[in-house]
């Protein structure tokens, strides 16, 4: 009874953090469709950087050492490409379907951990991976029935590529968590993304005849969404950090999969998206594979998300 009570608050905080991230993903999808993908990413990164700078000053965080800065730069670069692929995909497919496919990331992280950290892969982890791949196949098969929706299939491919980067991000996160505070991590993640997207716009502007990337000043209503999305990202990160500091990951990891439910609800309300049976079935298989993998070794935390 005492343990249940001690887990109730972290469980609720983690549940709320997942919901906030789902709302943020939906906001970024709407922004990407209205002002363009890279404009949405650039201005949110700028807003997040300013918010992070304010928090760094308030909490009087010291400037990190060079080795930690290199880690921040690496992770920020990975997240920038990961977020670009994921939100590009969201512009082409339902929110719930993209979230379901992204759940494959912890399984990919098992193999990256073996490759990069020398960890041993259990047989059960291989079986869990096969179950997750079966789930991906079920979701993609739903896309290939009847008339081929090539745009959505490209989106699904982009989600899977972003999941590979997300898995690498999880590995870096495990190293980073030992060296920096959540505020510092969030600040430098946004700052590196802001710098990279700004550099992309600058290069595109300098190259003659290239109009692929154009930086536009958002209108007032877009600024509200940008600021809200940045605030939601920081709030959810802080909530996750608080919850995982007070409860073991094995109890909280299953809560993270409620993101699919939130994505289905928000996608239906905001964009009129319908969740197919193949998406639900595939999500169940992928989540089952992740939960099997989580039971055989220390779970890999997912809580810093695609964004």
Q: Band of the pLDDT at 174, cuts 50, 70, 90?
A: low
Question: 253-297 pLDDT, tens per residue?
Answer: 677 788 888 889 999 998 898 888 888 888 888 888 777 766 655
Question: Which of these, 57, 201, 17, 33, lies nearest to 49 by C-alpha position?
Answer: 57
Question: 195-236 pLDDT, tens per residue?
Answer: 999 998 888 777 765 556 777 888 888 899 999 998 898 788
Q: Which residue has the higher pLDDT, 159 or 3?
A: 159
Q: Which tokens sit at 36?
A: 């363009």
Q: Which tokens sit at 50?
A: 């300013």
Rounded Cα gap, residues 126 and 273, in angstroms: 34
- Whether 250 shows a pLDDT value over 70: the answer reads no
Q: Which residue has the higher pLDDT, 80 or 129?
A: 80
Q: Are 192 and 76 in contact (CB under 8 A)?
A: yes
- Whether 299 shows a pLDDT value over 50: the answer reads no
pLDDT of residue 214: 76
This prediction has a pTM of 0.82
Q: Band of the pLDDT at 248, cuts 50, 70, 90?
A: low
Q: Which of 48-57, 115-124, 177-186, 278-287 has the lowest mean pLDDT?
A: 115-124
Mean pLDDT of 130-157: 75
- Whether 123 shows a pLDDT value over 90: the answer reads no
Mean pLDDT of 116-144: 74
Question: Which of these, 185, 184, 251, lies nearest to 15 by C-alpha position?
Answer: 251
Q: Which tokens sit at 207?
A: 């190259």
Mean pLDDT of 229-246: 79
- Whether 47 shows a pLDDT value over 90: the answer reads yes
**How much of the chain is helix, strand and coil, in % rounded to 5?**
80, 0, 20
pLDDT of residue 297: 53
Count Cβ atoms below 10 Å from residue 244 Cβ, excluding itself: 21
Q: Band of the pLDDT at 87, cuts 50, 70, 90?
A: very high
pLDDT of residue 261: 86
pLDDT of residue 5: 57
Q: Are 107 and 166 in contact (CB under 8 A)?
A: no
Question: 18-30 pLDDT, tens per residue?
Answer: 899 899 999 999 9
Q: Are 76 and 196 in contact (CB under 8 A)?
A: yes
Q: Which of 2-6, 133-137, 183-187, 200-204 has the lowest mean pLDDT?
A: 2-6
């Amino acid at each position: 009874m005492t343990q249940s009570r001690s887990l109730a608050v972290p469980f609720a905080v983690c549940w709320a953090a997942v919901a906030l991230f789902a709302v943020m993903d939906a906001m970024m999808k709407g922004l990407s469709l209205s002002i363009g993908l890279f404009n949405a990413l650039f201005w949110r990164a700028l807003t997040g950087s300013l918010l992070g700078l304010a928090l760094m000053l308030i909490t009087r965080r010291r400037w990190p050492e060079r080795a930690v800065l290199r880690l921040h730069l690496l992770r920020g670069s990975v997240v920038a490409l990961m977020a670009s692929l994921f939100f590009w995909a969201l512009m082409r497919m339902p929110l719930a379907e993209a979230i379901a496919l992204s759940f494959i990331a912890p399984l990919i992280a098992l193999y990256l951990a073996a490759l990069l950290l020398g960890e041993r892969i259990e047989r059960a982890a291989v079986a869990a991976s096969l179950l997750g791949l079966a789930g991906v196949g079920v979701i993609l098969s739903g896309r290939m029935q009847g008339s081929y929706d090539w745009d959505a299939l490209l989106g699904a491919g982009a989600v899977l590529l972003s999941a590979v980067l997300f898995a690498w991000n999880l590995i870096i996160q495990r190293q980073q968590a030992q060296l920096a505070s959540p505020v510092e991590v969030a600040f430098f993640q946004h700052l590196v993304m802001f710098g990279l997207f700004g550099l992309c716009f600058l290069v595109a502007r300098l190259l003659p005849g290239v109009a692929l990337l154009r930086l536009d000043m958002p209108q007032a209503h877009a600024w509200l969404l940008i600021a809200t999305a940045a605030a939601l990202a920081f709030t959810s990160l802080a909530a996750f950090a608080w919850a995982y500091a007070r409860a073991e990951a094995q109890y909280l990891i299953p809560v993270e999969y409620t993101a699919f439910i939130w994505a289905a609800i928000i996608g239906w309300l905001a964009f009129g998206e319908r969740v197919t049976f193949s998406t639900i079935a595939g999500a169940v298989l992928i989540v089952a594979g992740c939960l099997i993998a989580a039971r055989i070794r220390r779970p890999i935390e997912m809580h810093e998300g695609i964004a």
